Amino acid sequence: MIQCVMKYGAEVGPRLILLLGTLLAISGCGGGAPPAPAPISPPLNYTPNGNWLLVGNQPKEQYPIISAALIVSGNQVIASGLMETACGEGIGEYPFYLTGPVAPGGSSQLASIPPDASITISGVLPASGATTWSGTYTDNCGINQSGPFTATVLPALSGTYKGTLQGGSAGQGMTVTFSQGAATSATNGGFTLYYLPLSVTVTITGSPCFTHGTSIAGYSTYYGPSEIYGAGVDGAVLMDNGSQLGFMGSFSAPDESTIDFGLAAPGGACNWNNYGGTLTRQ
């Protein structure tokens, strides 16, 4: 049976407009600190574990844009990703988490339950080391369009981005460094999440509360693991004053030249201060 868990159980709104509201909405979902990430088991039959752009181009505003981390564990394939499409008024961002069995020959169909949820993906898994794979998608959100795709591998996110985030009492100078890791898993409340971990360091200037923070591995008190899923990123950083800040963002695919990034502080000296803006690769 094909299974699906929509990330956070909710849709994410247009770029940046609802980013910070979403961070605040999910800040109370952690409920404890399960074990840190562990290597995927059983051993993989296929090893396409990485980040892929299925269709679209954000700098050229070619929608829909569908991107996903593709992970295989045993005979199950997981696609954890982000769809940017016209659903209702304007362009919205919709995270998804799909799983399905791997059939003989490497084919797989990943669909959400109920069947009228946002996205369906079918295709043949790429061989180890491949840089493309093909299939079809159906975007069930509003425009109900479908078509073939030839996915291309996205470079592992690694680099430094800088900019000014607006929010709180004033704009905050921000430097963020990302480093994408190998596929892993973490368990919380009986659910095992497969994901691509993301190491993050944050340096903030002009804040009265903190100056530096590093990402938290696995589940934290308030947030899920720090991860990258297609063009989307989210997780938490532990700041030098002891507070946890949730982060969420989406980078421009496929060039990764900019990232729309937001931070929220659910507690501490800067309680409920929110920051959002666009950072540029250095």
State the Cα–Cα distance between residues 187 and 158, nearest whole angstrom: 26
State the Cα–Cα distance between residues 167 and 231, nearest whole angstrom: 23
Q: Which residue has the higher pLDDT, 26 or 199?
A: 199
pLDDT of residue 117: 55
Its pTM stands at 0.81
Q: To the nearest whole number, what is the mean pLDDT of the chain?
A: 77
Give residue-wise pLDDT tens across range 73-94: 878 888 999 998 877 677 888 8
Residue with tokens 């989307």: 232
Q: Which residue has the higher pLDDT, 9 or 183?
A: 183
Which whole-number Å values give the CA distances from 159 to 98, 119, 200, in the listed order?
A: 28, 30, 10
Q: Which residues, including other chains, have CB under 8 Å from residue 19's CB and lie 6 or more apart?
A: 12, 13, 248, 249, 260, 262, 276
Q: What is the mean pLDDT of residues 52-76?
A: 90
